[in-house]
Amino acid sequence: MNANIHLIGLNHRTAGVDIREKYALSSLEAFEKMLVHGPVREALALSTCNRVEILIVSDGSPAAADHVLHCWAEACSQPVSGLVSHTYIHENEQAVEHLFRVAGSLDSMVLGEPQILGQLKEAYRKAVESGTAKIVINRLLHKAFFVAKRIRSETGVASSAVSISYAAVALARKIFGELQGKRAMLIGAGEMAELAAMHLLGAGIEHICVANRTFARAEELAARFKGTAIPFDALYSKLPEVDIVISSTGAPTAVIHARDMKQVLKKRRHKPMFFIDIAVPRDIDPDVNQLDNAYLYDIDDLKEVVEENLAQRRDEAEKASTIVREEVQAFSHWLGSLELQPTIVDLLSSGERIAQRELQKTLRRLGPDVPEETRKALEVLVTSLAHKLYHEPIVYLKRRAREEGPAERFVHNVRRIFNLDEETVPEDAHVCRHKPSSLSGDQICQDKPQ
């Protein structure tokens, strides 16, 4: 494999939530465009509550990783020195393996949780639209989606998997014992909040209210779970009425502050109040935990709940790891084929195979009495025709390589035109390319490698 794929990142294992929130990326498209200069030719960034992953394809320069770290720190207005002890840098096969493990949810805090795949598809969609995902990242991400599908269909790693939202509600149950008769507020109305609402109702919560900056979305979520929507500006007026707050907004700074919570707790006559903050950056000021009768838990406090669930599926994770290793080898083979010489060899071999198939059909039609001299003449004819047919594509590739250096784009196109990798592509695989602005994560073209 060429030494030009790098994956630089940090996650819940290498950095606490206080570090993750400082280096969370908010505008992925702008960041990816910032990256694609100098030694970086392609880029994709993923930023979630538990990880930041930055995938690049470089020209092989050793300065590529430093370029990424400096851009990352600049985008977050933080020093590079703050990243050094918390980041990992994977190259080539290690980078591919790490990406496949992320896509397959083998690297998640909650093993087997399904949200990470949707988040990765969304990150890929943004990279495609920003023009920073090209030949290698396109192929690598489609392969990652394929690996994730194999893991889900061929192993039990996703069975009984939980989500961060489930873990948050499980933590609430540990705190209260039973949730019947309790009232909860969800701050934020995204997927995390939706899952939390579902699990809260399942646990017997009495009532849910939803606060969100987009009130229509709060109304929609509240209606689905027979709750109450409240304007974001009225959040503090409703807090005294709830026992549990689960917050999961995408706000860059805290939305609940310790100074304001003093009055809220006073109105509750100092009855206990529990906050579970699963957002990164955190939504709730850590100083809230210093107030009497206020108990604050962040996403890192969910690890104990997650470990209980993880123990049930370790064997399945081993099977999934085997799939990852198989697919890393397959991807390495494809990447190696982007070199000019292997593609020329594959072109000629493909032509010779077709020529031999046609020759055998012709010989069967002519019958068993074909003279040996005629058989040899036919063989020379078909082989010569195959070589001549592929002569112009080979000359074209060599010329582009001489004129432009690495000819990956042209090699890639030739391999697809002649289907040298023998892929099976559905007829509707590229329909979505006509409507790029309306793509959802699940609609990204699935011309996946087999």
Helix (H, G, I), strand (E, B) or coil at 9: strand
For every residue of 63-81, DSSP letters joined together read THHHHHHHHHHHHTT--TH
Q: CA end-to-end span of the chain, whole Å? A: 19
Structure tokens at 173: 């149950």
Helix (H, G, I), strand (E, B) or coil at 83: helix
- Alpha-carbon distance 110 to 235, whole Å? 30
Whether 85 contacts 28, CB under 8 Å = no
219 burial class (0-12, 13-18, 19+ CB within 10 angstroms)? middle
- Alpha-carbon distance 258 to 256, whole Å? 7
**Side chain identity, residue 354:** I
The catalytic site residues sit at 49
Whether 258 contacts 282, CB under 8 Å = no
- Alpha-carbon distance 447 to 443, whole Å? 11
Which single residue is written with the structure tokens 């049930």?
312
Helix, strand, coil abundance in the chain, percent, nearest 5: 55, 15, 30
